[in-house]
Amino acid sequence: MTMQKDRSGAPRRCLAIVLAAGEGKRMRSTLPKVLHRIAGRSMLAHVLDSVTRAGADSIAVVVGPGRDDVAAEARGNAPEARVFVQSERLGTAHAVLAARQAIAEGFDDILVLFADTPLARPETFSHLRERLRAGAGVVALGFEPADPTGYGRLLTDGAGALLAIREHKDAGPDELKVGICNAGLMALDGARALGWLEQIGDDNAQKEFYLPDAVAIARAGGAACALVMAPAEEVLGVNDRAQLAVAEAEIQRRLRLAAMLNGATLVAPETVFFSFDTVLGADVVVEPHVVFGPGVTVGDGCVIHSFSHLEGATLAKSVAIGPYARLRPGAKLAEKARIGNFVEIKQADIGEGAKVNHLTYVGDASIGPRANIGAGVITCNYDGFLKYRTKIGADAFIGSNSALVAPVEVGDRAFVGSGSVVTDNVEADALAVARGRQAVIPGWATAFRKKMAALKAAK
């Protein structure tokens, strides 16, 4: 976090206003646009995280009328954020003024952000704020898209000073030739912002109150306006699901790069998908085609073999999982545990060095250190109404194809014969066999063949 200071050295107080009142019609979704997820969390949550990391002292989120879901997501991700409702959708300046009460409290810096522009980095917000500190009244964020159609154009004088922003629909032919576009995000001097915002009118092609008009108004009032450039991929706006996928690709690119620079080997990085909060230790190897859902922490030296899916799981050091392992929320694997192919683990502690190697479901369970769970073992944790726990002791051995009907406990060092259906506790050091006893009748097959062959011949 960067603490911005003014020229006398006092910390500058910053209000971040996040606009999230758009309708997002082009998403063609019942879910509000800003609640669509990239890398495991909503676009709104990404933006709130960036402004928090950029050192905002106060956050205002502007939502559309009746959007309790968006308000709840804002509060869930930034508990101190204040939510304001924009009752009518009359443009970006009108939306900012929905947070008038917060602006009027008096901040040094005001940042305006769009919740549908989720990839802007905290450093970029800091750059905007630095220009305010240097004396600018309004700082716009510019970028050069491959195709500028639809964006506002940043109009500068010969010396590069920012004069005005012209929306595409209001621009003349020469203005449309300008390649530097408005990313939308903006910083305004807190002491003067309200005065400028109140002067913005709606006499334009869309009959909307345009926030970008703050530039020309500030200049007319004698304030200098500045321009900060950002890479196009950082200010990508998400309006439809195709752009949502582009944003996802960009954030995955960043997460993969960060994982590798932090000391993880990704054999085929483009096939590994992370969540915003995935934590990988040093010398982790991730083989191709692995998906990390939210809430995964992987300790040093772990190997994640191909085609594994992890969510809400914690792996201590030197654990190996997969190929084809599924770790669901609450899976906790102690050091050197081994989870093999087609194994599902949910709400379960797997002890140090324990092995669950093939075709197994372990749910609502704890498995002791060095225990060996054979192929095809199932913890039967659910009776259709409630869930129950299975406890397996240290060094226990559960034979293949056994069903452990919870609640049930198998003591330390105990054995369970394969094919058992275990309904009662097994004490430490015991053997439990719970299956039909084998009967062997010598010569039975010979007699059977002889009888059947005779019957067939008589037909």
Chain contacts with ligand UD1 (rule: CB under 6 A): 19-22, 62, 86, 89-92, 94-95, 114-116, 151-152, 165, 167, 181-184, 210-212, 237
* Crossing angle (nearest 10°) for helices 122-133 and 43-53: 50
Nearest in space to 214 (alpha carbons), one of 149, 281, 138 = 138
**Nearer to ligand UD1 by C-beta: 148 or 351?**
148
Shortest Å, Cβ 255 to Ca ion: 24
Q: Which residues bind Ca ion (CB under 5 A)?
A: 237
E-assigned strand segments in 167-319: 181-189, 225-229, 265-266, 272-273, 279-280, 285-286, 290-292, 297-298, 303-304, 309-310, 314-315
Q: Whose Cβ is closer to ligand UD1: residue 200's or residue 378's?
A: 200
Residue with tokens 């990391």: 53
Strands (E), 47-128: 58-63, 82-85, 109-114
CB closer to Ca ion out of 107 and 143: 143
User: In degrees rounded to 5, what are phi and psi of residue 102?
Assistant: -70, -45
With CA atoms as reference, report the closest residue to 107 among 61, 56, 62.
56
Selection from Ca ion, ligand UD1, none that 92 binds (CB < 5 to 8 A by kind) is: ligand UD1
Tokens of 159: 């010396």
Q: Catalytic positions, please?
A: 358
Q: How far is the CB of 108 from ligand UD1 (least distance, A)?
A: 23
State which residue, 167 or 395, has the beta carbon closest to ligand UD1. 167
Residue 191, both tokens: 């002491």
The minimum distance between CB 14 and ligand UD1, in angstroms, equals: 19
- The continuous run of DSSP H or E covering 381 comes out as none
19's contact among Ca ion, ligand UD1, none, with CB below 5 to 8 A by partner kind, is: ligand UD1
For the bound state, the minimum distance from the C-beta of residue 117 to Ca ion, rounded and expressed in Å, comes to 8
Q: Kindly tell me which of 120 and 422 has the beta carbon lying closer to ligand UD1.
A: 120
Burial 404-429 (b: 16+ CB within 10 A, else e): bbbebbbbbbbbbbbbbebeeebeee
Give the nearest residue (CB) to Ca ion. Answer: 237
- Residue 273 interaction partner, one of Ca ion, ligand UD1, none, beta carbon < 5-8 Å per kind: none
The Cα 441–Cα 210 span in angstroms is: 91
- The conformation of residue 121, written as its DSSP 8-state character, comes to -
Please tell me the distance from the alpha carbon of residue 326 to that of residue 261, in angstroms, as a whole number: 26
